[in-house]
């Protein structure tokens, strides 16, 4: 098949919403499909382009970045190329690229699927701007899509709230490049690099953003640190404008020597952090899927996740870790203490989940779900 994948961002720094189209392009090309990717040049990374020489990547110049809407007028010039594709898969939801591609896909009769990666509801910052987008473009994009892809039942409900009929929603769970975790780095590389002396590393992995609930984690860590001195909190990920707020909180709580910011880590460096961590704690207010938690599990590292999120839903189904209500500081502190002092139960959960992810949620097998979906749109 001739397949066009469309994403506004294409680099590791952009997280799971960029990782998914990268892995999908890679696997589709391996299976002999003719794959093209349209994206913007905003923080574009060769780290994603070099490993997929079979994929034709076209990065259009970003002329304006307005409220994270990366405007690339050049994509309009290639609109007639859409006629040559069998199917189009647009990633994310409120993007300039989707406005253009979905309009012309409809005009030329080329079917497209939309995968919002958990971003379909206007529940976070800039709600007013998002509602304007939805009024003029978004609802039409959703209504004209052949199918929309949800990662879990939580996301199904979000599409329904946006007016999408359940018959047009397909659930495809997030998949993982399990091959990346087949040979893990030896222990203590992360410790040595950052001169960590404490016995137990509590790890957060993700963007430093208000929606990630890291302030909740810091408060619970502070409570636990009053009971023991052998712990350190490592916050691994790029700053999305919230780091300064956290630093003020850390200073106020007297934790300056007990919290480590590393910035974005990838490849072996990220794996080393996961391997050395005693646990990974994801305390998001909203989280579409269990990306970082499942990566931790693939490294054999226990996880604690906030309950009422897409990630919490997935972890609950697999009984893969401990769940906590967002904002319940005493319970989170107690769960972290339990992982340290009584690890047998959580270790068993972690290993069972690791085996399941390898067997059922690898990209190598998951790509077939997308192939079936694409083919259904051609029939």
Residues 164 and 24 in one domain: yes
Residues 249 and 304 in one domain: yes
Give the integer Cα–Cα distance in Å for 307 and 286. 10
CATH of the domain at 112: 3.40.50.2000
| Residue 55, CA distances (Å) to 25, 37, 74 in order | 7, 7, 20
Residues 123 and 246 in one domain: no
The predicted structure's pLDDT at residue 313: 86
Domain around 261: 180-360
The predicted structure's pLDDT at residue 126: 56
The answer to whether the CB of 93 falls within 8 A of the CB of 116 is yes
Residues 289 and 189 in one domain: yes
Residues 212 and 252 in one domain: yes
Residues 220 and 150 in one domain: no
Stretches where the chain sits below pLDDT 70 are 123-126, 379
Q: Can you say whether residue 173 is alpha, beta or left, with left for phi > 0 and alpha for psi between -120 and 50 degrees?
A: beta
The predicted structure's pLDDT at residue 123: 61
Residues 209 and 168 in one domain: no
Residues 297 and 160 in one domain: no
Give the integer Cα–Cα distance in Å for 224 and 290. 25
Residues 215 and 337 in one domain: yes
Residues 237 and 330 in one domain: yes
According to DSSP, the residues that pair with 205 across neighbouring strands are 236
The answer to whether the CB of 206 falls within 8 A of the CB of 311 is no
Give the integer Cα–Cα distance in Å for 44 and 235. 24
The predicted structure's pLDDT at residue 17: 82
Q: How many structural domains are present in the chain?
A: 2
Give the integer Cα–Cα distance in Å for 81 and 73. 15
Give the integer Cα–Cα distance in Å for 272 and 63. 38
**Cα of 299 vs its chain's centroid, Å:** 17
Residues 96 and 244 in one domain: no
- With H, G, I as helix, E, B as strand and everything else as coil, classify residue 99: helix
Give the integer Cα–Cα distance in Å for 79 and 91. 17
Residues 165 and 297 in one domain: no
């Amino acid at each position: 098949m001739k397949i066009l994948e469309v994403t506004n961002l294409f680099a590791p720094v952009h997280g799971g919403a960029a990782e998914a189209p990268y892995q999908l392009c890679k696997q589709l090309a391996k299976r002999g499909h003719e794959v093209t990717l349209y994206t913007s040049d905003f923080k574009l990374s060769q780290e994603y382009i070099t490993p997929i020489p079979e994929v034709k990547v076209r990065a259009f110049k970003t002329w304006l970045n307005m409220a994270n809407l990366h405007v690339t007028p050049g994509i309009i010039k290639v609109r007639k190329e859409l006629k040559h594709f069998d199917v189009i898969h647009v990633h994310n939801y409120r993007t300039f690229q989707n406005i253009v591609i979905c309009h012309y896909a409809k005009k030329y009769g080329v079917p497209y699927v939309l995968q919002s990666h958990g971003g379909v509801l206007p529940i976070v910052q800039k709600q007013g701007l998002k509602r304007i987008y939805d009024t003029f473009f978004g609802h039409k994009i959703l209504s004209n899509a052949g199918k929309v892809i949800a990662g879990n039942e939580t996301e199904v409900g979000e599409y329904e709230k946006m007016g999408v009929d359940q018959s047009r929603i397909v659930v495809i769970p997030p998949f993982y490049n399990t091959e990346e975790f087949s040979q893990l780095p030896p222990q203590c590389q992360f410790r040595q690099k950052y001169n960590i002396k404490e016995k137990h590393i509590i790890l957060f992995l993700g963007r430093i953003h208000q929606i990630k609930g890291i302030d909740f984690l810091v408060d619970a860590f502070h409570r636990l640190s009053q009971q023991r001195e052998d712990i350190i909190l490592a916050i691994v990920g790029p700053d999305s404008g919230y780091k300064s707020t956290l630093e003020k909180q850390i200073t106020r709580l007297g934790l300056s020597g007990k919290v480590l910011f590393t910035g974005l880590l990838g490849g072996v460096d990220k794996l080393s952090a996961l391997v050395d961590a005693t646990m990974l704690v994801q305390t998001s207010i909203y989280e579409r899927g269990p990306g970082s938690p499942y990566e931790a599990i693939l490294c054999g590292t226990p996880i604690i996740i906030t309950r009422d999120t897409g990630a919490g839903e997935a972890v609950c189904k697999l009984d893969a870790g401990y769940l906590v209500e967002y904002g319940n500081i005493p319970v989170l502190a107690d769960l972290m203490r339990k992982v340290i002092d009584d690890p047998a139960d959580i270790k068993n959960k972690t290993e069972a989940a690791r085996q399941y992810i390898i067997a059922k949620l690898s990209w190598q097998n998951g790509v077939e779900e997308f192939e079936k979906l694409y083919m259904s749109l051609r029939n």
